[in-house]
A and B are shown apart, each in its own frame.
Chain A
Amino acid sequence: MKNTVDTAIRRTQAYWYVDGLAEITVGLLFVVISLYFLAQARIKTLSINPILTNFSLLVAILLVLWVLRQALQAIKARLTYPRTGYVAAPHMQKSLRWQRYGITAWLALVCISLVILALHSQTSPSWVPLLTGAVIGLTILVLSYRSRLMRFVFLACALVLIGALVSFINPGQTLAMALSSVANGACFIISGGVTLVQYLHGAQPPAEADL
């Protein structure tokens, strides 16, 4: 009986990953970030005001993030809710919420510091993509544990491998970050895409309307 309760809770907590759309969205965001790094490299070449253009690029990324979020909600309303039903964001106790904010802020600080170090260092540290991949991979691994979804374990391993490979190739500062971002994005998109296809085949909308 306890197992039934725990299973029901975990399945509901994993609801947001049932259709793969969240992963596709994250993948697209990684692709946008890779374009940011490529734009950075181009800006350096053209000697355009770096502060203004960096700010503009960051604003553009935030705008894309907002658009992706709205698109995700709209697509879920069309595809997921009629098939699986609707579940709002899970309840979180205040203490856990602040813990999550703290961990997210810490991870963001580490990643941003590494990126700044990579972009502005005279000798490019080749280990930055590996470390970034490891940090993101660890986050996905935690997600895998919480949601009990095996595919996140494979995704985490892929992210670490990509980081290691890019670090080994060491194509240079900005190109390394662009390369690892687009590869990470591809992994997320493939994982989400396969999940979405399986989900659409397996879950059909009910014949009668919801009461």
Chain B
Amino acid sequence: MNRETQRVAAIDRLIHEPSRMLIMSILYAGEQVGFLYLLNETGLTKGNLSNHISRLEQGNYIQVEKSFRGKVPQTLLSITPQGRSAFETYRKQLKLLADSLPSSDS
């Protein structure tokens, strides 16, 4: 396997899915984010979003907290230290991959 292929193979596939990548990006920027905010920003359906959240939670990249704000139930999500480290690694991998691609001029 050559170096470029190795780089592609090494990409974290749990994050690399577009919807999960977007979720991780948002959680990376916010200390704690509500489900409604994620729903608005990702444009996913509730079921779809819940599925992706479950996948990330199983991978220990995010943690989910269900609580109340007054009488209103709310679901708060935050990125775990493992998830933060994985996302930072993923961004570096993505950058290396993008830099290794030939330019459109060549």
A9 to B28, CA, bound (A): 7
A9 to B24, CA, bound (A): 9
- Over the window 5-27 of chain A, the binary record of Cβ atoms lying under 8 Å from chain B Cβ atoms (1 yes, 0 no) is 10011111101000000000000
A-B contact count (CB 8 A): 98
- Over the window 155-168 of chain A, the binary record of Cβ atoms lying under 8 Å from chain B Cβ atoms (1 yes, 0 no) is 00000000000000
Task: Sort chain A's interface into a size bin.
Answer: 20 to 34
A207 within 8 A of partner (CB): no
Contact A85 B40 (CB under 8 A): yes
Task: Sort chain B's interface into a size bin.
Answer: 20 to 34
Interface of A toward B, CB cutoff 8 Å:
1-2, 4-5, 8-13, 15, 77, 81-82, 84-91, 206, 209-211
Contact B36 A85 (CB under 8 A): yes
Among A8, A86, A211, contact of B41 (Cβ-Cβ < 8 Å): A8
Given A1-B21, A8-B41, A77-B69: A211 touches B29 (CB 8 Å cut-off):
no
Contact B31 A88 (CB under 8 A): yes
Contact A86 B91 (CB under 8 A): no
A13 to B33, CA, bound (A): 12
Contact B74 A86 (CB under 8 A): yes
Please give, as numbers and ranges, the residues of chain A lying within 8 Å of B35 by CB-CB distance.
85, 210-211
A85 to B40, CA, bound (A): 8
Closest to B28 in A: A9
Please give, as numbers and ranges, the residues of chain A lying within 8 Å of B73 by CB-CB distance.
209-211
Given A209-B73, A210-B73, A211-B75: A8 touches B37 (CB 8 Å cut-off):
no
Question: Which 8 A/B pairs are nearest by Cβ-Cβ distance?
Answer: A85-B37, A86-B34, A85-B36, A12-B29, A8-B25, A88-B32, A88-B31, A9-B29
